[in-house]
């Protein structure tokens, strides 16, 4: 029997297993009743679409090489220890031959969808330019800051982290940095109680809406190379250093051209595929009964 075949009723277990893991990260038997019903509906819809694609005229002559199926099989197998994949399949009433057949079907559906897009015109630079100038708001980059910070937490369960002790510790660090601000990274590595201490306190590029409001407001007022006063958040006390200022700007057409062209090309392909699938799945109009009346 060819591995490229239409689905049988027994194959529904494969689709249900796949959807359960994709949607809920669990096996079908571990799903709640409502989740199981949802997964079953999605799986049934997927089967309906795949069957329609495989029966379509466009699928005629599409052959998936056995090596491509084996590559897909090996990709799945790489997620399991040796022998565990076969055990997992058996636990759901499936076997290697059935899974390979399903993989062949999926690969064939993908190939048919690629065939449907054959002949689509390439997105030109003019097309990209028209989209860019019609959607300038999509290419606005907000202001940002590259920052480091030092955190001393407040925790009354530890004497060195009571509010008074934590404040005294951060003030001592701030005093040292006022005379030698270039030592901020060193002080962060030595004293900060944030995981970023291992990166010398580097927070990275901070965009609006990332930090606690009181920290963010101060950071965006700092000049490059400037250190903040002691700041407080629900976590404790902070010192911030602005490493670099990135002003708000609009990405140029030249900057976005390659990626935007790929995006528009992909959007065009998906639109063609959706249109084709919709026509494929649309039921035939009922023939009017001319004999009555």
Most confident of 27-31, 141-145, 282-286: 141-145
pLDDT at residue 102, rounded to an integer = 87
Across the strands, what pairs with 244?
Answer: 146
pLDDT at 205: 96
Residue 215 near residue 231 (C-beta atoms within 8 A) = yes
Alpha carbon distance 17, 10 (integer Å): 12
Q: What is the C-alpha separation between 222 and 210, in angstroms, rounded?
A: 16
Instruction: Give pLDDT, residue 146.
Output: 97
* Residue 129: domain span: 125-138+255-280
State mean pLDDT over 20-30: 90
Please report whether residue 129 resides in a domain.
yes
Please state the rounded mean pLDDT for residues 262-284: 92
Q: Do 80 and 178 have their domain in common?
A: no
Same domain, yes or no, for 209 and 262? no
Q: How confident is the model at residue 243 (pLDDT cuts 50, 70, 90)?
A: very high
pLDDT of residue 8: 52
Which strands, in side-by-side order, build the sheet including 231-233?
202-206, 144-153, 236-246, 231-233
Among 77-86, 126-135, 221-230, 242-251, name the one with the lowest average pLDDT. Answer: 77-86
Is the confidence at residue 3, as pLDDT, over 50?
no
Residue 85's pLDDT band (cuts 50, 70, 90): confident
In a domain, residue 4? The reply is: no
Are 150 and 235 contained in the same domain? yes
- 188's tokens: 């962060």
What average pLDDT does range 138-160 have in this prediction? 95
**Total domains present in the chain:** 3
Q: How confident is the model at residue 87 (pLDDT cuts 50, 70, 90)?
A: confident
Say if residue 134 is in the same domain as residue 269. Answer: yes
CATH number at residue 26: 1.10.4030
Q: Does the structure show a pLDDT above 90 at 83?
A: no
Find out whether 17 and 27 touch, Cβ atoms under 8 Å: yes
Calpha distance 225→85 (Å, rounded): 55
* Residue 5 reports pLDDT greater than 50: no
3-state helix, strand, coil in the chain (%, to 5): 60, 10, 30
- CATH number of the domain within which 216 lies: 3.10.50.40
Give 15's pLDDT tier (boundaries 50, 70, 90): confident
pLDDT, position 282 = 85
Can you name the residues that pair with 227 across neighbouring β-strands? 241
Q: How far is CA 191 from CA 155, 232, 291, in A?
A: 16, 16, 91
């Amino acid at each position: 029997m060819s591995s490229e075949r239409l689905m049988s009723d027994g194959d529904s277990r494969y689709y249900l297993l796949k959807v359960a893991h994709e949607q809920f990260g669990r096996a079908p038997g571990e799903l709640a009743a409502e989740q199981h019903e949802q997964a079953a509906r999605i799986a049934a819809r997927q089967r309906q679409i795949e069957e329609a694609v495989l029966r379509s005229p466009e699928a005629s002559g599409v052959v998936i090489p056995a090596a491509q199926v084996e590559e897909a099989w090996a990709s799945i197998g790489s997620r399991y220890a040796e022998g565990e994949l076969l055990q997992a399949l058996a636990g759901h009433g499936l076997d290697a031959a059935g899974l390979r057949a399903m993989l062949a079907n999926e690969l064939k559906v993908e190939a048919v969808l690629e065939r449907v897009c054959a002949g689509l015109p390439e997105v030109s630079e003019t097309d990209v330019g028209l989209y860019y100038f019609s959607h300038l708001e999509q290419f606005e980059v907000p202001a940002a800051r590259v920052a480091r910070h030092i955190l001393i937490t407040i925790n009354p369960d530890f004497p060195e982290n009571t509010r008074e002790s934590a404040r005294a510790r951060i003030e001592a660090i701030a005093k040292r940095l006022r005379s030698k601000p270039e030592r901020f990274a060193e002080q962060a590595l030595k004293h900060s109680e944030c995981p970023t201490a291992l990166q010398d306190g580097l927070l990275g590029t901070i965009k609006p809406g990332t930090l606690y409001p009181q920290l963010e407001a101060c950071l965006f007022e700092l000049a490059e190379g400037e250190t903040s006063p002691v700041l407080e958040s629900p976590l404790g006390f902070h010192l911030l250093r602005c490493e670099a200022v990135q002003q708000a700007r609009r990405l140029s057409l030249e900057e976005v051209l390659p990626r935007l062209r790929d995006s528009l090309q992909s959007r065009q392909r998906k639109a063609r595929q959706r249109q084709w699938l919709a026509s494929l799945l649309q039921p035939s109009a009922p023939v009017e009964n001319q004999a009555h009346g």
